[in-house]
A and B are shown apart, each in its own frame.
Chain A
Amino acid sequence: MSEREVILAISGLQTEFKSRGGSVRAVRDLNFNIAAGQTLALVGESGSGKSVTSLAIMGLLPQAGYIAAGSVLYKNRRGEQLDLVNQSAAQMRQIRGAEIAMIFQEPMTSLNPLFSIGDQIGEMLLLHTDLDATARAAKVIEMLELVEIPAAASRYHDYPHELSGGMRQRVMIAMAMILKPALLIADEPTTALDVTIQAQILDLMRRLQKELNMAILFITHDMGVVAEMADEVAVMYAGEIVEQAPVQQLFMRPSHPYTQGLLKSIPGAGGITRSEDGRLQAIPGSIPMLNAMPKGCSFGPRCAGFVSGCQDSVELAVTEPLHWVRCSEIGVNAHV
């Protein structure tokens, strides 16, 4: 990363869940930084641990979940370095929304159906500022205009069900942005939207990021969205980062067999290679269950380049400046 100011620094983060058979590890050995104005994309399939990571940062893990090791250092507006792992519930409430905001995949389930959108956005101001009702309403309308909701003033009293999916996601973004957070965590924010609406929302997020110099942790499974949004990419598989690199490098020289397989699995656009008979190069098998993780490399059982040495534990290693890969066979099956 450049000399930009680092807002969030995660090191050695390990998240576990209590279950009947003992603790299972959802995320391990997680390290990354995000700087102001930058976007880090966390990519992975269901069960890879990307959403658990975002919940751990926000202190919103479900009851059975806990952080077993590591730190989440956040630099707040006053320039103080806070470890979010050690903050009290009250302190986290001050940080959430005001300093770090979050938007989710499904705007319909994250908005309260019983309150107007204006009231819901205004609630953020009620909780975190001293503004009176008139000033709050004015600010909300200003925000609705900023996220390009047409006829913003007349929409203030609308309820979520009166809006389309794209409009609801704009409302979520307005709510997340109204306190000008330094860090936005976006968990699959466009997955439920149609492509033409997705394009609008991604444009909007890029514009607001520039205006506010905001850091974004963008969680997605869509490599197309990654290519458009990210400065840096971390690919997660079964709770670990298996490859991390600046976006150009990752797409030009994907080095981990899982990243390579993921890119080859995407049909069509972008000139991604296909095998000679025109079939997609699918990755065989499926992601392991948390309570039945393979020994050593977690991708081993699905990997074409599997050798017995893959059953030993494997750490991230540098392959070129800023490019990290977790594969003990790298160099052997790199760029296959």
Chain B
Amino acid sequence: MSEAFISVKNLSKGFTTSKGVVQAVRDVSFDIPRGSITGLVGESGSGKTTLGRAMLRLIEPSAGSISFDGIDLLDLDERQMRKMRKRMQIIFQDPYSSLNPRMRVLEILSEALIAHDIGANSTERKAICISLLEEVGLAAEHINRFPHEFSGGQRQRIGIARALAVEPDFLVADESVSALDVSVQAQILNLLRDLCTKRNLTMLFIAHDLSVVEYLCDQIIVLYLGRPVEIGSAEQVYQRSAHPYTQALLSAAPIPDPSKKRSRVVLKGDIPSPYNPPSGCAFRSRCQYAIADCGTELPVAVEVANRHFSFCKRTEIII
């Protein structure tokens, strides 16, 4: 692994609501090496979307720091931050609601170029737009069409082209293939992988689907109630998962092979309310290994292998 391109330290984000304060992201630290893809996995309510947006300061973090290519993002004022945004882009989940239905593809893409002063005039911008469309697997003839004339997969390609328009170094893909059919999903995953290699992009890929993350990512972070429970390479997390939550998550995912009989760890109950998470280890209320000690203090990272961390007191017993 090369040097950290993005370094997140002790990042937290709380939301104040009528029912109290929800700590959506709690004291998260990790590095993303340049040119690599990091996967953020977790169930609904785990804080993965909040964390992704807080890293771009689309949501203002409550505490912590984000170092982006050596620059501390939280030190920047609004104007400086707007300039930085050129280097970081986001692709959303729903290709239907993230494109303006009244704009043609040319306008959608040019808008990003104009906002960041790319291209001297409209002719030049149009040429950039066409090459972007070709790069994401669409054609020049698509440039004057409206979003409704495209299928879901094609719309997601437009969303990707818009993100690439400003030539970012860092992409956040928030459930970017979840709304697509599998056969189309595979096309988009291949495209994202190719683009990352070709443009040396660093990416944070947020998803709830473990198999998708395994395919795409170099490093994986598993989140539970706003905190990481396991961090490691794709291979470490999938083949030798150390945390009981990761193990349960992996065993819950249905495998497309009817001949495989699996021993399944079925988790009891739901993810606890984020308003009132369990003390100590947040997972202990559903954990088969939990002991009284798990409730008294926060679990610290245990390095089970080279750069493979499990946040669990009982690691020795589990692996």
Contacts and interface: CB of A to CB of B under 8 A. Distances in A.
A176 B266 CA distance: 24
B260 interface: yes
A266 B253 contact: no
A62 interface: no
A223 B256 contact: yes
Contacts of B184: 45, 282, 286
B279 interface: no
A197 interface: yes
B187 interface: yes
B256 A266 contact: yes
B70 interface: no
B122 interface: no
Interface in B242-258: 248-249, 252-258
A279 B257 CA distance: 21
B159 to A, nearest CB: 16
B190 A46 contact: no
Nearest to B259: A248
B195 to A, nearest CB: 13
Interface stretch (B79-87, B108-116, B211-219): B211-219
Interface stretch (A21-29, A104-112, A161-169, A317-325): A161-169
Interface string A241-270: 000000110011000000001111111111
Contacts, number: 132
Contacts of A283: 183, 186-187
Nearest to A229: B254
Contacts of B193: 279
Nearest to B266: A199
Nearest to A231: B258
B145 interface: no
A269 B182 contact: no
Chain A interface residue bracket vs B:
35 or more
Interface residues of B, number: 41
Scoring A164, A262, A272, A282 by chain B CB atoms within 10 A of each residue's CB, the highest score goes to: A282
Contact of B259 (A222, A252, A262): A252
B307 to A, nearest CB: 21
Interface in B213-271: 214-216, 238, 248-249, 252-260, 264, 266-267, 269-271
Interface string A268-307: 1111100000011111101100000000000000000000
B225 to A, nearest CB: 13
Contacts of B269: 150
A251 B211 contact: no
B256 A226 contact: yes
Contacts of A166: 270
Nearest to A227: B258
Interface in B177-205: 181-187, 189-190, 193
Interface string B114-131: 000000000000000000
Contact of B214 (A221, A262, A267): A267
A286 B208 contact: no
A225 interface: yes
A158 interface: no
Given A46-B181, A221-B182, A261-B183, A280 B256 contact: no
Contact of B210 (A195, A197, A198, A225): A195
Nearest to B212: A267
Contact of A266 (B153, B211, B249, B264): B211
B252 A221 contact: no
A132 interface: no
Nearest to A224: B254
A196 interface: yes
Nearest to B286: A196
A283 B190 CA distance: 11
B34 to A, nearest CB: 21
A261 B152 CA distance: 19
B151 interface: yes
Contacts of B43: 194-197
A225 B271 CA distance: 22
Contacts of B285: none
A81 interface: no
B44 interface: yes
Nearest to A150: B269
Contact of B252 (A196, A247, A263): A196
A200 interface: yes
A196 B41 CA distance: 13
Contact of A224 (B187, B189, B255, B259): B255
B315 interface: no
B203 to A, nearest CB: 16
Contacts of A145: none
A284 B187 contact: yes
Contacts of B249: 195-196
6 contacts: A195-B252, A224-B256, A225-B254, A268-B212, A269-B214, A269-B256
Interface of A: 45-46, 150, 164-167, 194-200, 202-203, 221-228, 230, 247-248, 251-252, 261-272, 279-284, 286-287
Interface of B: 43-44, 151-154, 181-187, 189-190, 193, 208, 210-212, 214-216, 238, 248-249, 252-260, 264, 266-267, 269-271
Given A224-B253, A269-B214, 9 more contacts: A195-B252, A196-B43, A251-B259, A262-B183, A266-B182, A267-B186, A268-B210, A270-B260, A280-B215
